[in-house]
Chain A
């Protein structure tokens, strides 16, 4: 299989220069390689997307997918994974989608350490609804709902995920596809809840290419198992102030995963009539 085999007949409607292309072009070769290497057969991959520009990725990849609703990728993906632990479930979500509408699910996804991957297309603006602020927009952001400038600072999703118990926390950028591919690959292979915030630029409503290009740098010599160091690195940039922006895997740890405690991963055959009869006997 080649990355182009993952193409569908859908017409791509992202804007020219949209950062979503980088995510699409990074994930396709990663899925292809994982399939070729026999690590993750493509038929066992399920993509779950939310609503927003990012979510169209479900239409653009010829793989199993559930194109869901705004903010709700995590619970759908969790259900799919619990139903069939053999499947590899990857969520694609937007920043408005998962940090605003669906924040509770993201926190619980990390808290449960369910074995799924969440890739966040974080362009720090609502694109499809034409330019309002999101939870990661910088303070002072002049959007269509905040023409006077946003009064509140952004949240730092990496710190939030760390506080929630995330076991794989990473940040990527839509320029520098090799690093992005490397992060996606290790996120998918990590057993537990993998979180990747991708700084992805909305060329139409919030073009930060120049800003990012001058500030991003890859984490080097960083020990991702050291939680204290990882959190220090997460705090190096708060999504608001000016400063260097580290990219890479900040934190990674093997922990028990949600669903491990279910009696059996593959359900037993039950004589249902007999089990019902036995249960009813207890009520006499």
Chain B
């Protein structure tokens, strides 16, 4: 007779077999049996957060920086509803999460019991799949299946709802099936013919561009390696979405910077004028495309994606290749190499003119800003932060808003998995807990949350978590006293009616740091900025850095609503030069 285990024991057996080392969670009545079992499993470390949303974002930061699924453990009712924002965030940005939630005992389900909610009902639209385990004999199978669903294909969050009586009930434990590898392969649905067709397009292109996205990061470090080889082999220019930053080195000459609403002039114009557009692991998000009708009007479009439903969803493409980015690009690289053996002619000369055009766009220097000796410009602050941390293997998270865009524009990433930001859902309050998760996964590395003062207040309490586990995260707040992006839109779109976007009362972040038991640093003078940043980097422990910046700075360049890529508003230098200030604004 095999040994019978309780539901709580089975949960941990599964976590051990799935090689889980960290879980982020918060206890409560309906998960107490699982928490009771925690002590018997020393290989699994639990990180106690201060709010379940924080657990979710921390698990996201953990997953995105390590490539492993993040695991979350919460109680029923409010525990589950609090984690919904993080699950939705993970769903939008394709982050593998496994969330285990407690539920009231089976016989009480549906009776409006204390801390009961329809967890599987609430989370159905924001997970890849979810399960309510009503029979203890299903538990091990469901747990393993959950990890498989979360991590294969296009990754995403899953949730397992376990009633309290199931956590006590006993059953036999079943090991995971070994058929995993077959499933991974089944996501590759492309043929050599498609690869050949793409290679043919590559050789004919005169004005090509590669547009890569988060899919390259999700496919693992090998995908970034293959992408770099591909870009080198072809000599093509490459631009990246917000989520794809780091897959290709940000300081390389072939990299045009980020594209989209706040992308560079050269990247967006190249997207508009190109004759061949190769989308690798991106999804034609509305922040990228601008006006659909006028999106890259004269190009042949190729889309490489693991998710068939991403193809032709927004932009109709001419060649779709469904598969894992690593496999597809490696195949392309091999095919190119083979062809070159026959006749070594590359088409680099074909695209020389295209590069000349791109260099002309580059001369606009669209990320420029008017620096100041009196106040710290937020862009300058990010640039100094980059210069002082670029020689370390730094991990950066962000909140959402202007600071996020400035970080994306001015901080250059050379490796994948170093940049964690909430792109799809745009969750203010993501960065601080995400930094906690990143630091747990990489205890020796420098982890910085580039934050805004409004965003960071949404999940500020997680500083307490950072202090508890002595996680030396650096919260670099670009404090402009406004919800900056809201203020910018109100300035440009709503006749400067700054309705409720100014925080009349803000906490003293220095005192706040003291209250949490971490270090506070304040900077308001450009002359001291470097020294203070260095002080932050050198301090061994969590830091809240209150960087007072010019409150009226706007994030440029910007594509106004309903406009195509080639009608951008540029920064103040250019606006003065061309005297389009009034007209440019009217375009918005």
**Chain A bound to chain B:** no
